[in-house]
Amino acid sequence: MPVPIRRLFVALTLCCALLAGATACGSATEDATQNTAAVVAAAAATPSPSTTAERQKLAKTRFVANAGLAAGATYQWIVKPWKAGKFKKGASGRRFALVKAGLAGAFAYNRLKAAKKNAQGDPTLSKALAPLTAGIDSLKDLPSKLRKGDSTDATASSFDDIINKVKDAGKSAGAEVTEKVPSAGQLAGGS
């Protein structure tokens, strides 16, 4: 499709004018660019206003995602091996199972903290999760105990209990949590 000569001429003239203007400005352009970049950075750092309904919807969605990852990691690498007897002394693959359980425990704790923070954006979730805050905080030292193999039965059952309570709290608040097993990269990365 041929382009009319008039359009090409106008486009070429505008390009030359912009190039000449940018060259003539010199250091003033650099200052303006820096100021513009600062304004853009400040605008990006400032959260955009959203309605209460949007915050609640996003809070529930994020809560479900974070709690689901915590539940999946807990079930896959802590509860399942615990029920299979992999944590008992003399069990085949015990050391590897304990290391994976420790990583999964740290990951699950991280995701539960994020889910707790997400729940604060929704009044219903906040009320449902409030009694579990102390339980989630008590999981802080358990991943290191899992890695060392200390009291694995009590540790595994603690994780399982807290995850089930979080799932029940989410269900009662209208945010049903389904287990989602994280990838190895997510588990190793911690988030």
pLDDT of res. 122:
87
Which residue did the predictor score with more confidence, 179 or 37? 179
- The pLDDT confidence band at residue 65, using thresholds 50, 70 and 90, is very high
Query: Does residue 130 form part of some domain?
Result: yes
- Number of other CB atoms surrounding residue 31 within 10 Å: 11
In a domain, 15, yes or no: no
pLDDT reading at 70 higher than 70: yes
State mean pLDDT over 93-106. Answer: 89
| Domain assignment present for 8 | no
DSSP structure string for 116-134: HHHHTTSHHHHHHHGGGHH
Which value, to the nearest 10 degrees, does the dihedral of the CA atoms of residues 138, 140, 141, 145 take? 100
Is 4 part of any domain?
no
Q: Is the pLDDT of residue 40 over 80?
A: no
Q: Is 44 domain-assigned? A: no
CATH no. for residue 102? 1.20.120
Task: Please check whether residue 38 lies inside any domain of the structure.
Answer: no
Give 43's pLDDT tier (boundaries 50, 70, 90): very low
In the predicted structure, residue 39 carries a pLDDT above the cut 50: no
The residue ranking higher by pLDDT, 176 or 10, is: 176
pLDDT at 95 > cutoff 70 = yes
Q: Does residue 89 sit within a domain?
A: yes
Domain encompassing residue 156: 56-189
For 140-178, how does the pLDDT look when each residue is reduced to its tens digit (9 = 90+)? 887 777 777 766 677 788 888 989 999 999 899 888 998
Confidence of residue 32 (pLDDT cuts 50, 70, 90): very low
The Cα 124–Cα 128 span in angstroms is 6
Please report whether residue 90 resides in a domain: yes
| Number of compact structural domains in the chain | 1
Sign of the alpha-carbon torsion through 68, 65, 115, 120: negative
pLDDT exceeds cutoff 80 at 33: no
